Structure 1
Amino acid sequence: MDDFERLRGRLFGIAYRMTGAATDAEEILQDAWLRWQDADRTAVRDPDAYLAKIVTNLSIKQLTSARARRELYVGEWLPEPVLTGRTEFDALEVVAQRDSVSFALLLLLERLTPAERAAYVLHEAFGYSHREVAELIGTTDANARQLLSRARKRVTADSRRQQAVDRAEWRELVDRFLAAAQSGEVEQLERLLAEDVVSTADGGGKVIAARNPVVGRIMVARYLIGTLQKFGAGFVLRFAEANGEPALVAEGPDGLMAVCFVEAGPQGVSDLRFVLNPDKLAFAGAQVSQIGRLSDLSW
């Protein structure tokens, strides 16, 4: 097997964590593949490090450019989801490492500089040493350590410290949450929401979505019920796994319409993140096409 194909999962994992966009990661891999074809293989002593360096630097360049474009983005920006947890998605095995690719962590990584993000991703998700990180991003060992230290501090400081619920508890809570929302029982829904719950939707100006986060159990409950009453007949909700965690996917007549991440803790549902922008659902939609129908994702 060609070294590039052997490393494709790892390379995709680096690019995806770096950019938060599966479509960008695919473009980066295509660019890296072209460079690999043009490389003098006899001069490449370590293909793993060579290709990781190419992908890392392409990712840093892409992330720098993307941040400038995001200043013009319509509404809230969320990462692109990837479906995980099925044998059909084995190519994404490295992406499915639970802690290092969760949707919440991808959002936190957005607060890092490109260099900090590279140091964090390479060391924390892929186990590269400080010396190897320095070589991959083209800096000194000491600076790589500083980048990682700053990244860790920022990620830790911004992380919500809450007790995670297991999947059975999550499913039971979300089942009750959906039942209350679909029945229009505002007070019942409020009791399932944390006091400081936040609902964020990313429509990118291409579909109808709240352009600012909705905050607080009363506002979120009314917003969700109103949205379901207006658009609920146009889709079917199913349970699936995305980014290594349980999620909701919405299926419409033309396929995937949304991926929703529901974060819950002892106080109830604390965060709702809706990815609605069709461009950001393209990769997950292509994954669905691998299995033939969205209903097969249910669990």
Structure 2
Amino acid sequence: MYNNTVVLEDYQSKLFPYAYNILGSIEDAKDVVQDIMLKHMNLDNVKVENTIGYLIRSVINHSINIKKRSSKMTSAEVWLPEPMATEKADSDLNKEEIISYSLLVVLEKLSATERAVFILKEAFSYSHQEIAEVLHLKIENSRKLLSRAKSKLDKGNGYNDQKSHEDRTEYLRNYVNIVKSGDVNKLEKLLSDDIKLMADGGKDIKVLRNITSGKSAALDLIMRVFETFQVSQKIKITEINHQPALLFFDEDQLVNCQVFELHNHKIKSVFSVVDPLKLKHIEYLLVTFFMM
């Protein structure tokens, strides 16, 4: 069915953001897209009027089903999405359709269907009629699901920092220098009063299971982690899901990705991913597309 590799890759790049934004997993999103493409390629005798529309609907609904199953299996206190490098994204990926890391985190509060409705409306600008057609809902049910989703999300959730890439890079460079200097007074001035730190080590890496909240507790944890683990590690400033981030390397191996949420020149949240499985994609991009 697909004798044009360019067309196939174009479909895959268009479908991936839908799956990733719903699942929060790069590998799962790739698997979903591949499954749907293979099923469609086997429909030789079935005529599809709008191929890309059909594929998008299939990917969204398949992603919802997988999200429902995975939500039942997740038992960790903190589950963080797999980070996506948007500073050096895959050349064939429309990175603007990848939603912010902070928003991916808070969307975990929603059911799989609520999440899909919210993403289609807010990230892809679908009308309620279009959402209803994709998810096989009534238009009124789509409106109710969106309203319910928004009511579950706190005001200010998501990421809307307006700093330029250069300003955010300079902000993190200053943060790193302060942490390295051990100047807790300067560091304290960078932290929001209600700052939250959370970490995901997956199955193999032990991390604090609970969210650390408040300036005093965060200050202590940041310095303790740096002095215990990061003092000898190489640190690289980058962008993850459109947010400023730090990558930590131990002998050239990526061991930690910290994504920062900034509000009013203060650090509001730090999302620390140390699960090796969730760092594979970023490490692959580092090796493939640009040198460390």
TM-score exceeds 0.5: yes
Identity %: 28
Runs of 4+ in 1 over 4 A off after TM superposition: 160-164
Q: Name the CA distance, whole Å, in 1 between partners of 2:176 and 2:167.
A: 14
Counterpart for residue 226 of structure 1: 224
Q: Number of matched residues?
A: 288
| Counterpart check, 1:69 vs 2:73 | yes
Q: Name the CA distance, whole Å, in 1 between partners of 2:79 and 2:183.
A: 30
| Counterpart check, 1:80 vs 2:78 | no
Counterpart for residue 90 of structure 2: 89
SS at match of 2:237: strand
Counterpart for residue 243 of structure 2: 245
| Counterpart check, 1:18 vs 2:9 | no
Q: What do residues 237-265 of structure 1 show as CA deviations (whole Å, max 9, x unaligned)?
A: 11112112221112222532221111222
SS at match of 1:53: helix
Q: Name the CA distance, whole Å, in 2 between partners of 1:255 and 1:141.
A: 49
Aligned alpha-carbon RMSD (Å):
2.3
Q: Name the CA distance, whole Å, in 2 between partners of 1:9 and 1:83.
A: 15
Gaps of 5+ in 2: none
Q: Name the CA distance, whole Å, in 2 between partners of 1:39 and 1:122.
A: 27
Gaps of 5+ in 1: none
In the superposition, the TM-score normalised over structure 2's length comes to 0.89
Equivalent AA in structure 2 for residue 191 of structure 1: K
The within-5 A match list for 1:33-72 is 33-40=37-44, 42-71=46-75
Query: 1:58: Cα distance to partner?
Result: 0.8
SS at match of 1:29: helix
Equivalent AA in structure 1 for residue 201 of structure 2: G
Q: Name the CA distance, whole Å, in 2 between partners of 1:156 and 1:7.
A: 35
Equivalent AA in structure 2 for residue 134 of structure 1: A
Q: Name the CA distance, whole Å, in 1 between partners of 2:166 and 2:228.
A: 30
The within-5 A match list for 1:1-299 is 1=4, 3-40=7-44, 42-71=46-75, 73=76, 75-86=77-88, 89-93=90-94, 95-97=95-97, 101-155=99-153, 157=155, 159=157, 164-266=162-264, 268-293=266-291, 295=292
Query: Structure 1 residues 4 and 257 mapped into 2: Cα distance closer, same or farther (>3 Å)?
Result: same
Query: Structure 1 residues 242 and 163 mapped into 2: Cα distance closer, same or farther (>3 Å)?
Result: closer
Q: Name the CA distance, whole Å, in 2 between partners of 1:162 and 1:80.
A: 20
Q: What do residues 133-162 of structure 1 show as CA deviations (whole Å, max 9, x unaligned)?
A: 112112222222222233234346462798
Equivalent AA in structure 1 for residue 58 of structure 2: I
In the superposition, the TM-score normalised over structure 1's length comes to 0.87
Q: Name the CA distance, whole Å, in 1 between partners of 2:45 and 2:272.
A: 44
Higher helix proportion (structure 1 or 2): 1
Query: 1:92: Cα distance to partner?
Result: 2.3
Q: Name the CA distance, whole Å, in 2 between partners of 1:105 and 1:41.
A: 41
Query: 1:18: Cα distance to partner?
Result: 0.3
SS at match of 2:210: coil
Query: Structure 1 residues 122 and 289 mapped into 2: Cα distance closer, same or farther (>3 Å)?
Result: same
